[in-house]
């Protein structure tokens, strides 16, 4: 009985684990994304090459990319069972729901003020 | 063992192996690690609620203190103006770095190398303490300008943080909201970093005493590692929404 689950574990969990090389790769990805954000904030926006309205969505996309790398590789979620991945990721839909509701609400507020 | 079972009962006693018949653990992680994930999910909800409230208040305000004007000094040095993002960049680097030392500790734990685990954990703790010191400097700087919970700087100082032509009433209203949200959200995050440092110290002491060597696995390092990476993850969002946008 004990042989079966350990085999599964070895297949799904320990096989694709993080090596030291991979860890440093992820670190340089995170550092690179942060550097891009700095270039946008310190050079592109002040010099008028990129408008603030365009820069903000870019920041959010880059932030989500960083979040993906941290959760997938540092927190190892990419190498866990699919059931656990969904158990963690699907409830995040509630957060998106709250964002939509409150964005709509603040639109209404600013309409009242303006 | 299964060979000895007679054919008559084997049908019932056979170990079920397919995922939907209870033959396997659906998550295939240890209980404590799964609970850490669920705790982090609930914590993600808490931080999201705080950040989304911040976003909706800011979005509905006619004006807001400009981050590149509020955070343009390097606390702890004589640089007071013209260096936006430099200090917070340093803080971000420190936190990402301490996240890396944490994964390296987890990786060393997989190889059961006690000595390496200890060194990487000490590195992580130092990173956490450095981040907390930076945050203390940052808070102290904003406080010296007049910001605190429901406290804002005087009229003259306040004008430096806005583009010219914004009426004083609007400046004061949004600065109040900014001050409360900034100290609450970075404070809650800083409290998480502080707890993380304490937890890391406890775990490192356990490693030194050989608790996990006796247990035969360094899984506990992985669990505190999850918490520590989560703190880093939250900072990525705080950094974007307070300092960049």
C-alpha separations of B217 from A10, B112, B140, B213 in Å: 15, 7, 43, 6
C-alpha separations of A41 from A28, B51, B70, B171 in Å: 20, 21, 14, 23
Backbone angles phi, psi at B148, to 5 degrees: -165, 180
pLDDT of residue B27: 84
Where b means 16+ CB within 10 Å and e means fewer, B38-53 reads eebeebbeebbebbbb
Provide the β-strand partners of residue B148: B151
Size of interface A-B (CB pairs under 8 A): 137
CB pair distance less than 8 Å for B41 and A91: yes
Q: At what angle do helices A52-69 and B219-238 cross, to 10 degrees?
A: 180
Residue B85 in contact with partner chain A when CB distance is under 8 A: yes
Backbone angles phi, psi at B23, to 5 degrees: -75, -25
Q: Check pLDDT > 80 for residue B176.
A: yes
Give Cα B209 distance to the centre of its chain: 28
Backbone angles phi, psi at B196, to 5 degrees: -60, -40
Nearest CB to B84; choose among A17, A42, A71:
A42
How buried is residue A84: exposed, middle or buried, by Cβ count under 10 Å (0-12/13-18/19+)?
middle
Residue B71 in contact with partner chain A when CB distance is under 8 A: no
- Out of A51-55, A99-103, B98-102, B239-243, pick the least confident: A51-55
**Domain residue ranges of chain A, discontinuous segments joined by +:** 1-80, 82-114
- The C-alpha atoms of residue A56 and residue A35 are separated, in whole angstroms, by 16
Structural domains of chain B ordered from first start: 30-244 (1.20.120.80)
| Contacting residues of A for B105, CB less than 8 Å apart | none
Q: At what angle do helices B86-110 and B114-145 cross, to 10 degrees?
A: 160
pLDDT bucket at B113, cuts 50 / 70 / 90? very high
- The residues near B166 (Cβ < 8 Å, ≥ 6 apart) are B63
Measured between CA atoms, the residue of chain B closest to residue A81 is B27
CB pair distance less than 8 Å for B84 and A24: no
CB pair distance less than 8 Å for A95 and B45: yes
Measured between CA atoms, the residue of chain B closest to residue A89 is B41
Which of A75, A81, A109 is the best substitution to test chain B (most B C-beta atoms within 10 A)?
A75
pLDDT of residue A30: 95
pLDDT bucket at A110, cuts 50 / 70 / 90? confident
Angle CA B75–B171–A59, to nearest 5: 60
pLDDT tens-digit readout, B32-81 = 999 999 999 999 999 999 999 999 999 999 899 999 889 988 888 877 88
- The C-alpha atoms of residue B158 and residue B162 are separated, in whole angstroms, by 7
């Amino acid at each position: 009985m004990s042989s079966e689950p350990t085999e599964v574990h070895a297949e799904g969990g320990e096989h694709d684990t993080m090596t030291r090389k991979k860890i440093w790769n992820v670190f340089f990805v995170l550092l690179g994304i942060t550097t891009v954000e700095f270039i946008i904030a310190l050079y592109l926006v002040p010099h008028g090459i990129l408008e603030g309205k365009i820069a903000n969505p870019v920041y959010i996309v880059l932030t989500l990319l960083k979040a993906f790398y941290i959760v997938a590789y540092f927190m190892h979620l990419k190498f866990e069972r699919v059931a656990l991945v969904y158990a963690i990721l699907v409830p995040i839909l509630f957060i998106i729901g709250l964002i939509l509701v409150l964005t709509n609400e603040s639109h209404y507020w600013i309409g009242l003020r303006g | 063992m299964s060979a000895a079972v007679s054919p008559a009962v084997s049908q019932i006693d056979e170990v079920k192996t397919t995922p939907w018949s209870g033959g396997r653990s659906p998550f295939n992680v240890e209980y404590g690690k799964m609970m850490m994930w669920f705790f982090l999910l609930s914590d993600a909800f808490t931080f999201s609620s705080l950040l989304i409230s911040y976003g909706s208040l800011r979005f509905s305000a006619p004006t807001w203190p400009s981050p590149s004007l509020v955070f343009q000094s390097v606390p702890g040095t004589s640089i007071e103006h013209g260096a936006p993002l430099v200090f917070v960049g340093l803080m971000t680097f420190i936190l990402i770095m301490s996240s890396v030392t944490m994964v390296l500790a987890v990786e060393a734990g997989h190889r059961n190398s006690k000595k390496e685990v200890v060194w990487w954990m000490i590195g992580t703790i130092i990173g956490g303490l450095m981040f907390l010191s930076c945050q203390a400097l940052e808070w102290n700087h904003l406080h010296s300008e007049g910001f605190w919970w429901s406290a804002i700087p005087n009229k003259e100082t306040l004008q430096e943080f806005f583009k010219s032509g914004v009426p004083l009433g609007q400046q004061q209203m949004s600065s109040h909201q900014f001050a409360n949200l900034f100290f609450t959200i970075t404070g809650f995050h800083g409290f998480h970093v502080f707890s993380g440092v304490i937890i890391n110290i406890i775990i490192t002491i356990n490693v030194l005493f050989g608790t996990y060597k006796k247990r035969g696995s360094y899984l506990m390092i992985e669990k505190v590692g999850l918490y520590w990476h989560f703190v880093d993850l939250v900072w990525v969002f705080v950094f974007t929404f307070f300092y960049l946008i």
